[in-house]
C-alpha cells in the first residue's frame, strides 16, 4: 500500500509518501510525479513514512528525476528512514536528488 | 500498438498464458506484468513451468508447456498477471532415466533456469536453510535497464592496465576496512578512493556469478568453512545475491550496476573471473540444480558409461565445445558486457574450453574462436588461465586468434625462484622482463599477464614468510593446496619479531613488485599485497570466510612504506610508456641506444647465457618512439645475492644525469637523489634510476 499526500505552496510541490513503493504501487507514484505541471520549480519528496522502496520504485524516482531535470526543477528528498536511505545509497540513486 | 502478445489463449486455475517467444532464452519482462519464458532441452520429453510466490515452499501454479508451445528443442510461454518482484520460478523436465545413456531426468525436481538473471533464497551470505529442508535454487525475474548515462566499458588498452585481483567480500569484511557496507558490491564503491590512490586501473573480481557458499560446508575447530572463493557456479547469468548489501530489498542487480558505473567514472575497469569449466552440480553424487536435470548429455562431458569426466578437479566438466553450450557461454558473456558493462573476463582453468566432447584437446576449439571473434565481445579483454586439472598446460600455446591473453604462470615461477636466489633462473628472467617473447613470439607482450601472487597460493607477505604451506585450518590435514610454492621465509617460519628478518621480507616484497611493474606485459597485483596482508601461511584459503582471508586493513598503517613503494612503482610504470610497449622490440631506437639492454657489473658487459644473481636492465624511452614526455633512460639494478655488489651505470647522453628514484634497501623511498656510477647494491636489493635532462 502506498499513500501520497500532495501539498502545493507556490511553485513548490511536496509529496509525502507513506507505505511501500513496489511493482503494484509504483504506477501511482509515477503518475503523481509525471503529472506535475511544467511550472513546478521545486519537488520535495517527504519520505518520513516510506517503509520500503523496490526496484520498480527506484525506476519511478529515476523517471521523476529525468522529468524535473528537463524542466529545470529542483528535485529533493527528505526525512528518509535508514531503510530507504540505504537503498538509495547502495544503488547510487542518491545522486538523483538535489540538495535542499 | 497492441500485438498478439496481448491476447492470452490458455487459462489454468485463473492464470492466463499463451505460446511465447523462443528468443531470448530465460525469463523476460514484456510489459504490464507479462513475462516470456523460454528454455532449451534436446532430450526432454516434456516440460512444466513452476511459479512460486516469493519465499513460499509450494508453487501457486504449475503450467505444462503444451505441444504447440515447443518449437524445435525450445519450450516457450508468455504468462500474464505476474508481479515480477514477488515471483520465483523454475522448471520440471521429464525424459529418459538412463544414466548410462547420459540422461538424468527427474520430473519431481524443480530446476533452475540456466538463463535466470537472479537466484532467490540466497540473499544473505552463509545463511543455512531451515533444517530438514533441501534448498531449491529458483530463478527471479529482473528488469535489465539501468540509468547508465554515458557509461560503457572503458576499453583501456590492455598494455596500460595494472590489474588488482580482489574478492568482493574479502576486500571489505575486515573489522578495520572502514566501510559502511562491508563485504558487498556497495562496499567496493567505498574503496574506490583508496584504489585510485594506489593507482590501479582495473579490478579483477573473484567469481561473482551465483554460487553456493554452503556447498560442502563443515565445521573445523569451531569455525564454519564454506565455499568462500566461489569457483563453483550455480547460475552464470546471476550476480551473487549474497554479495549485494541491498539483496534483501531486491536491488542486487542495481547495486552491482552502480558499482561498475562508479568504477568506470574513476577510470577503473572491472574484470570478472569466470568459471565455465564446471558447475556446482559435481559428479554423479552431486546435487541436481539445473543443467543435469534439463539436458545432462548436452551440458556435460560424459564417459561412454555415462559418468562425468573430471578435467576440472571438481567432479564434472562442461561440454564447452558443444554448439548449444558454446552459444550459452557466448550469450552469458554478451549479457555481462552489454547489461553490466563488464570490461573483461579471466577464464578459470580455460584449457578445458579447448577440449572436445571426448575430452581431447583441439587445435582450433570452436568456443575459443567464437569468443575471440564475437561482435559484442569485440573489445572485451579475454584472459585465460591456460591450464586445467587434467594435465593440459598451454601457457604460451593457448589458441589465441590474436585476442586471448594468458595468466603467465612461468613469469610467476621464474620471478619467485630468481628472487630467492636461484641464479639459474637469471637467463629466463631476461625473457620475463621483456614480456616473455620466448612464449608469445607470434603475439605480443599484451598476451602476458604477469603476476607474482594471486588468490590461489601464498599472499606476497606469506611468500617471503613461509617455506611451507600451513593449511591445517582447512581441515584436510594440510594435504590441500600447492606444495611447490617457490617461497622462502627469510630465515624464520612465520611471524617473527626479528628486525633483520622483517627488514629482509619487506625488501623481498619490494624487489618483487618493482620487477613486476618494470616488466613488459600486464602486471597483476593481489589485493592486500600492497600492505603485507597475510593469510598466516594458508596457501589455499578457498574455504576460509574469516580473518584468514579478509584483508586486514590495520596492516595498511603498519606497513605504510610498502604501500607507498607499490604506489610509486605504479606511478613510474604509468609515467613511462616504454615499459608498457606491447611490441617485442629491443633493437636500437631513435635514442641511438637499444630499447632494452642488459648489463653486468660493467655496463654493456653481460653474459646472458649463464646463471647470475646480479644484473642491470635498461629501457631507452623517447618522445619520438613512445610518445613520452621527454627522452629518458630507466635503469634497474638487481642484486639477489646475499652480499653487496656494485653495478656500473651505462653512460647516458651529455646533459642527462642518473637519479635514484627507488631503492628497496632503504626504509623510505620518497626522495629522489642524484646517483653516480657505480652504484652499490646491498644484499638482496634493487635500485631504480632514471636519467633525463
Reduced 3-state DSSP string for B274-315 = ECCCCCCCCCCCCCCCCHHHHHHHHHECECCCCCECCCCCCC
Query: Residues B418-434: what's their mean pLDDT?
Result: 98
Residues of B in contact with A87 (CB under 8 A): 246, 249, 251
What b/e sequence results for B66-85 when a residue is b if at least 16 CB atoms lie within 10 Å of its CB, and e otherwise? eeebbeeebbbbbbbebebb
Residue A99 domain flag? no
- Residue B609 pLDDT > 80, yes or no? yes
pLDDT digits (tens, 9 = 90+) for B59-95: 999 999 999 999 999 999 999 999 999 999 999 999 9
Please give the helix or strand (H or E) that residue B691 lies within, else none. strand B685-692
- Residue B584 pLDDT > 60, yes or no? yes
Q: What is the DSSP string of B256-271?
A: HHHHHHHHHHTT-EEE
CB contact under 8 A, B262 and A58: no
Cα-Cα end-to-end distance for chain B: 71
Residues of A in contact with B117 (CB under 8 A): none
Strand boundaries in B458-571, DSSP class E? 522-526
What b/e sequence results for B442-473 when a residue is b if at least 16 CB atoms lie within 10 Å of its CB, and e otherwise? ebbbbbbbbbbbbbbbbbbbbbbbbeebbbeb
**What phi, psi does B552 have (nearest 5°)?**
-95, 100
Query: Residues A87-94: what's their mean pLDDT?
Result: 96
Report pLDDT for B32.
72
Cα-Cα end-to-end distance for chain A: 28
Among B111, B121, B123, B153, which residue's Cα sits nearest to residue B253? B123
Residue A13 domain flag? yes
Mean pLDDT of chain B: 96
Residue A52 domain flag? yes
Report pLDDT for B650.
98
pLDDT digits (tens, 9 = 90+) for A37-62: 999 999 999 999 999 999 999 999 99
pLDDT digits (tens, 9 = 90+) for B501-532: 999 999 999 999 999 999 999 999 999 999 99
Report pLDDT for B132.
66
Residue A98 domain flag? no
**What phi, psi does B279 have (nearest 5°)?**
-125, 175
> In terms of residue numbers, what domain contains A78?
2-92
Chain centre to alpha carbon of residue B421: 30
Best mutation target, B246, B260, B264, to test chain A (most A CBs within 10 A): B246
Domains plus CATH for chain B? 4-140 (2.60.40.10), 580-692 (2.60.40.1180)
CA distance readout (Å), B5 to B66, B78, B116: 17, 8, 22
Are B623 and B693 spatial neighbours (Cβ–Cβ below 8 Å)?
no
From B22's Cα to the closest Cα of chain A, the distance in A is 26
Among B17, B54, B50, which residue's Cα sits nearest to residue B36? B17
From the list B33, B83, B251, the residue facing A87 with the nearest CB is B251
Query: Residues B437-466: what's their mean pLDDT?
Result: 97
Report pLDDT for B150.
97
Residue B378: which residues within 8 A CB-CB, separation 6 or more? none
pLDDT digits (tens, 9 = 90+) for B484-506: 999 999 999 999 999 999 999 99
From the list A56, A62, A87, the residue facing B246 with the nearest CB is A87
Residue B499: which residues within 8 A CB-CB, separation 6 or more? none
pLDDT digits (tens, 9 = 90+) for B101-136: 999 999 999 999 999 999 999 899 998 877 667 789
The confidence band for A72, taking pLDDT boundaries of 50, 70 and 90, is very high
Bridge partners of A52, per DSSP, are: A20
Count of domains in chain A?
1
pLDDT digits (tens, 9 = 90+) for B313-365: 899 999 999 999 999 999 999 999 999 999 999 999 999 999 998 889 999 99
Report pLDDT for B652.
97
Calculate what percentage of chain B has a pLDDT beyond 90: 94
CA distance readout (Å), B468 to B204, B410, B482, B488: 27, 20, 10, 8
Look at residue B681 and give its three-state secondary structure. strand
CB contact under 8 A, A90 and B245: yes
CA distance readout (Å), B189 to B150, B245, B248, B365: 19, 12, 19, 38
pLDDT digits (tens, 9 = 90+) for B643-656: 999 999 999 999 99
B210 included as an active-site residue: no
Report pLDDT for B3.
82
CB contact under 8 A, A55 and B33: no
Residue A58 domain flag? yes
Residue A83 domain flag? yes
Query: Residues B441-452: what's their mean pLDDT?
Result: 97
- Residue B669 pLDDT > 60, yes or no? no
Q: How many CA atoms lie within 13 A of B665 on its CB side?
A: 19
Residue A77 domain flag? yes
- Sign of the Cα pseudo-torsion (B359, B365, B366, B367, in order): positive
Residue B326: which residues within 8 A CB-CB, separation 6 or more? B320, B366, B367, B370
List the CATH number of the domain containing A30. 3.30.750.24
The confidence band for B2, taking pLDDT boundaries of 50, 70 and 90, is confident
B348 included as an active-site residue: yes
Best mutation target, A2, A84, A91, to test chain B (most B CBs within 10 A): A91
CB contact under 8 A, A83 and B249: yes
Are B284 and B307 spatial neighbours (Cβ–Cβ below 8 Å)?
yes
Calculate what percentage of chain B has a pLDDT beyond 70: 99
CA distance readout (Å), A47 to A3, A15, A26, B17, B245: 11, 8, 15, 38, 21
Pairing label, strands A12-21, A2-9 = antiparallel
Report pLDDT for B131.
66
ipTM (interface pTM): 0.95
Weakest-pLDDT range from B174-183, B384-393, B466-475: B384-393
The catalytic position among B385, B422, B446, B529 is B385
CB contact under 8 A, B249 and A87: yes
The confidence band for A67, taking pLDDT boundaries of 50, 70 and 90, is very high
pLDDT digits (tens, 9 = 90+) for B237-281: 999 999 999 999 999 999 999 999 999 999 999 999 999 999 999
Residues of B in contact with A54 (CB under 8 A): 85, 249-251
CA distance readout (Å), B679 to B508, B597, B639, B691: 19, 17, 11, 14
From B360's Cα to the closest Cα of chain A, the distance in A is 45
The confidence band for B673, taking pLDDT boundaries of 50, 70 and 90, is confident
Amino acid at each position: 500500500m502506498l499513500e501520497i499526500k500532495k501539498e502545493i505552496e507556490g511553485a513548490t510541490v511536496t509529496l509525502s509518501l507513506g507505505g511501500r513503493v513496489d511493482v503494484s504501487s509504483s504506477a501511482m507514484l509515477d503518475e503523481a510525479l509525471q503529472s506535475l505541471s511544467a511550472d513546478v520549480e521545486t519537488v520535495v519528496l517527504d519520505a518520513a513514512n516510506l517503509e520500503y522502496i523496490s526496484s520498480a520504485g527506484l525506476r519511478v524516482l529515476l523517471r521523476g528525476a529525468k522529468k524535473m531535470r528537463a524542466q529545470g526543477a529542483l528535485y529533493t528528498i527528505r526525512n528518509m528512514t535508514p531503510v530507504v536511505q540505504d537503498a538509495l545509497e547502495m544503488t547510487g540513486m542518491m545522486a538523483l536528488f538535489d540538495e535542499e | 500498438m497492441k500485438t498478439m502478445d496481448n491476447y492470452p489463449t490458455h487459462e489454468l486455475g485463473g492464470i492466463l498464458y499463451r505460446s511465447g517467444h523462443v528468443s531470448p532464452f530465460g525469463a523476460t519482462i514484456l510489459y504490464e506484468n507479462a513475462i516470456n519464458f523460454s528454455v532449451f532441452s534436446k532430450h526432454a520429453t516434456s516440460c512444466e513451468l513452476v511459479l512460486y510466490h516469493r519465499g513460499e515452499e509450494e508453487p501457486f501454479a504449475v503450467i505444462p508447456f503444451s505441444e504447440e508451445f515447443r518449437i524445435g528443442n525450445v519450450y516457450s510461454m508468455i504468462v500474464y498477471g505476474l508481479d515480477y518482484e514477488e515471483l520465483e520460478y523454475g522448471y520440471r523436465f521429464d525424459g529418459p532415466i538412463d544414466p548410462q545413456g547420459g540422461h538424468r531426468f527427474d520430473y519431481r525436481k524443480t530446476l533452475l533456469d540456466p538463463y535466470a538473471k537472479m537466484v532467490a533464497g540466497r540473499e544473505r551470505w552463509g545463511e543455512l536453510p531451515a533444517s530438514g529442508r533441501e534448498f531449491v535454487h529458483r530463478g527471479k525475474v529482473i528488469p535489465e535497464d539501468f540509468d547508465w548515462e554515458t557509461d560503457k566499458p572503458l576499453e583501456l588498452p590492455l598494455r596500460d592496465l595494472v590489474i588488482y585481483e580482489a574478492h568482493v567480500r574479502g576486500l571489505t569484511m575486515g573489522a578495520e576496512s572502514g566501510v559502511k557496507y562491508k563485504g558487498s558490491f556497495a562496499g567496493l564503491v567505498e574503496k574506490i578512493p583508496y584504489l585510485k590512490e594506489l593507482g590501479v586501473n582495473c579490478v579483477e573480481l573473484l567469481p561473482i556469478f551465483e554460487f553456493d557458499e554452503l556447498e560442502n560446508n563443515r565445521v573445523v575447530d569451531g569455525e564454519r568453512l564454506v565455499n568462500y572463493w566461489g569457483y563453483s557456479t550455480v547460475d552464470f547469468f546471476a550476480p551473487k545475491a549474497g554479495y549485494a548489501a541491498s539483496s534483501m530489498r531486491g536491488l542486487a542487480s542495481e547495486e552491482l550496476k552502480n558499482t561498475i558505473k562508479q568504477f568506470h567514472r574513476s577510470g577503473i575497469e572491472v574484470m570478472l573471473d569466470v568459471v565455465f569449466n564446471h558447475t556446482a552440480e559435481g559428479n554423479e553424487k552431486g546435487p541436481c540444480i539445473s543443467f543435469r536435470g534439463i539436458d545432462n548429455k548436452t551440458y556435460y562431458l560424459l564417459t561412454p558409461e555415462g559418468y562425468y569426466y573430471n578435467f576440472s578437479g571438481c567432479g564434472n566438466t562442461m561440454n564447452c565445445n558443444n554448439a548449444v553450450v558454446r552459444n550459452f557461454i557466448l550469450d552469458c558473456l554478451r549479457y555481462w558486457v552489454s547489461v553490466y558493462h563488464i570490461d573483461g573476463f579471466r577464464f578459470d582453468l580455460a584449457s578445458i574450453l579447448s577440449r572436445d566432447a571426448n575430452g581431447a584437446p583441439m587445435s582450433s576449439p570452436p568456443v575459443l574462436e567464437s569468443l575471440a571473434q564475437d561482435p559484442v565481445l569485440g573489445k572485451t579483454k579475454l584472459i585465460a588461465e591456460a591450464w586445467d586439472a587434467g594435465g593440459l598446460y598451454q601457457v604460451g600455446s593457448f589458441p589465441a586468434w590474436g585476442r586471448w591473453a594468458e595468466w603467465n604462470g612461468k613469469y610467476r615461477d621464474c620471478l619467485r625462484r630468481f628472487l630467492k636466489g636461484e641464479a639459474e633462473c637469471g637467463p629466463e628472467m631476461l625473457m620475463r622482463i621483456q614480456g616473455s617473447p620466448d612464449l608469445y613470439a607470434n603475439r605480443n607482450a599484451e598476451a602476458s599477464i604477469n603476476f607474482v601472487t594471486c588468490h590461489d597460493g601464498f599472499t606476497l607477505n606469506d611468500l617471503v614468510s613461509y617455506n611451507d604451506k600451513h593449511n591445517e585450518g582447512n581441515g584436510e590435514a594440510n594435504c590441500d593446496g600447492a606444495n611447490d610454492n617457490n617461497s622462502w621465509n627469510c630465515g624464520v617460519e612465520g611471524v617473527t619479531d626479528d628486525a633483520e628478518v622483517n627488514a629482509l621480507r619487506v625488501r623481498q616484497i619490494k624487489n618483487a613488485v618493482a620487477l613486476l611493474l618494470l616488466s613488459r606485459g600486464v602486471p597483476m597485483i593481489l589485493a592486500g599485497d600492497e600492505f603485507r596482508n597475510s593469510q598466516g601461511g594458508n596457501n589455499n584459503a578457498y574455504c576460509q570466510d574469516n580473518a584468514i582471508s579478509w584483508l586486514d586493513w590495520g596492516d595498511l598503517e603498519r606497513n605504510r612504506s610498502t604501500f607507498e613503494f607499490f604506489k610509486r612503482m605504479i606511478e613510474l610504470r604509468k609515467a613511462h610508456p616504454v615499459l608498457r610497449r606491447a611490441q617485442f622490440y629491443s633493437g636500437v631506437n631513435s635514442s641511438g641506444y637499444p630499447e632494452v639492454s642488459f648489463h653486468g657489473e660493467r655496463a654493456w658487459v653481460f653474459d646472458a647465457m649463464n646463471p647470475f644473481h646480479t644484473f642491470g636492465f635498461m629501457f631507452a624511452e623517447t618522445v619520438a618512439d613512445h610518445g613520452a614526455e621527454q627522452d629518458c633512460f630507466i635503469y634497474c639494478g638487481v642484486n639477489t645475492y646475499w652480499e653487496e655488489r656494485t653495478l656500473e651505470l651505462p653512460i647516458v647522453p651529455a646533459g642527462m644525469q642518473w637519479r635514484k628514484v627507488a631503492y628497496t634497501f632503504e626504509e623510505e623511498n620518497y626522495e629522489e637523489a642524484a646517483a653516480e656510477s657505480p652504484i652499490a647494491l646491498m644484499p638482496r636489493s634493487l635500485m631504480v634510476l632514471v636519467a633525463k635532462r
